Amino acid sequence: MPDPVVFSGGTVGAWNVTRVAAVRGAALATVARIDKGVRPVADAAWVLSGVTSNLRYTNTAEKRVLDATPSVLGRPAATRAALIPITKSAAWWALAQDERRAVLEEQSRHIAIGSEYLAAVSRQLVHCRDQPGAVFDFLTWFEFAPADEPRFDELLAKLRASPEWRFVEREVDLRLEKAA
Amino acid sequence: MPDPVVFSGGTVGAWNVTRVAAVRGAALATVARIDKGVRPVADAAWVLSGVTSNLRYTNTAEKRVLDATPSVLGRPAATRAALIPITKSAAWWALAQDERRAVLEEQSRHIAIGSEYLAAVSRQLVHCRDQPGAVFDFLTWFEFAPADEPRFDELLAKLRASPEWRFVEREVDLRLEKAA
């Protein structure tokens, strides 16, 4: 079943915000902390919510690779995180399924590139385009150990240089550190 | 952009309910009328809501066929309608994208069968699986002239006999007539 995931930006929560970068389009209001839960916290400066959902592009062979290294959230060593909300363009969403798949994987190797980092980077894809009033299409969440942040940046650099990213209209990159 | 679509079952609305059949699983509470809009009506017996969204399986060639015969809702001659909420099984949603596509089209010819009826049957697919608290995955909506109802039933019979329907866990078939 789809599970709700809610990010509340404000003064409470398990994650301290260390950096906010507007990669493309407008940033989000600067906040001190982020709470990640199943409902909004009171008095949040902003709330971003969505649901985990079924796979949209991953084929059988690719799923086998992902299933072999399941993403475990909350690992004690993973004291760094990134929340990267993304909006894709109307042109992306107007494409047929096979056209989107071709850009995402055959041209951009999105799934293949991500698979190289499965052991170091735990991740969760939250869908929000179909939520009423949503301003982002996806809320992507990553957890990693401090020593793995350079590898995570390498992963992002590869994806941002790919043809798929020509369809990204807004992207905010928030870096986080587990609160003591 | 995804547009909200809300069906409210109760005593008001533009559509009189003429028949409710529980095709698989539980029915819905019997109501006299259905309102189709963008928000729930007050005092509804039940409310089903979701959003229109991007294509999930349709490829480029199939999209070309659909785009050539766009579905027009509200045609004056289309005084009959059907609202068919559907829930698919957990096994369906756990399949990889290529596996779901293979069942839906290569095995079941869902898009091809539907394309034969484009001129007679206007349709709208409302997604609700990713809405918090949703009990159905899809709310499928069809409008047709009274004389075309047998053709619509033929379309349904073909789909219900297909391998894809082995993954349908709940299906309710409500038939409607435009209120005078």
Is A38 among the domain residues? no
Residues of B at the A interface, defined by Cβ within 8 angstroms: 1-2, 4, 50-51, 53-60, 62-63, 90, 93-94, 96-99, 101, 127, 129-132
HSE-CB of B140 using CA atoms within 13 angstroms = 14
Residue B89 forms part of a structural domain: yes
pLDDT tens column, B50-66: 999 999 999 999 999 99
Place of tokens 């042109």: A91
Pick from B55, B63, B130: CB nearest A53: B130
* pLDDT tens readout for residues A18-33: 999 999 999 999 999 9
Q: Which two tokens stand for residue A15?
A: 């994650």
Determine the pLDDT at residue B133. Answer: 83
- Evaluate if residue A133 carries a pLDDT over 90: no
pLDDT in tens, A21-77: 999 999 999 999 999 999 999 999 999 999 999 999 999 999 999 999 999 999 999
CA distance linking residue A176 with residue A115, whole number of Å: 23
Local confidence band at B180 (pLDDT 50, 70, 90 cut-offs): confident
| Predicted confidence (pLDDT) per residue in B137-166, tens digit | 999 999 999 999 999 999 999 999 999 999
- Residue A76 inside a domain? The answer is yes
Q: Does A163 score more than 90 pLDDT?
A: yes
Q: What is the span of the domain harbouring residue A101?
A: 50-178
Each residue's pLDDT tens digit, B22-41: 999 999 999 999 999 999 99
Q: Considering only CB atoms, which residues of chain A are within 8 Å of chain B?
A: 1-2, 4, 50-51, 53-60, 62-63, 90, 93-94, 96-99, 101, 127, 129-132
Burial of B59 (0-12, 13-18, 19+ CB in 10 A): middle
Instruction: Tell me: pLDDT of A1 over 90.
Output: no
- ipTM given for this complex: 0.93
A146 CA to chain B: closest CA distance, Å? 33
B7: in domain: no
Please indicate, yes or no, if residue B140 is contained in any of the structural domains: yes
Please report which confidence band the pLDDT of residue A137 belongs to, taking 50, 70 and 90 as the band edges.
very high
CA separation for the pair A36, A8 (Å, rounded): 7
What is the residue-averaged pLDDT of chain A? 97
* Residue B149 phi, psi dihedral angles, 5° rounding: -60, -40
Number of domains in chain A: 1
User: For residue B99, what pLDDT is reported?
Assistant: 98
d(CA A83, CA A140): 6
Whether B5 is in a domain gets the answer no
Residue B31 in any domain: the answer is no
Which tokens go with B29? 């509470």
The pTM score is 0.94
CATH of the domain at A162: 3.30.70.3420
For residue B81, name the pLDDT band (cuts at 50, 70, 90). Answer: very high
Whole-angstrom CA distances from B13 to A22, B34, B42, B123, B176 are 46, 5, 11, 19, 11
Average the pLDDT over A120-138 and give the result. 94
In this structure, what token pair is assigned to residue A125? 């894809």
Say which of B53, B96, B127 has its CB closest to residue A55.
Answer: B96
A79: in domain = yes
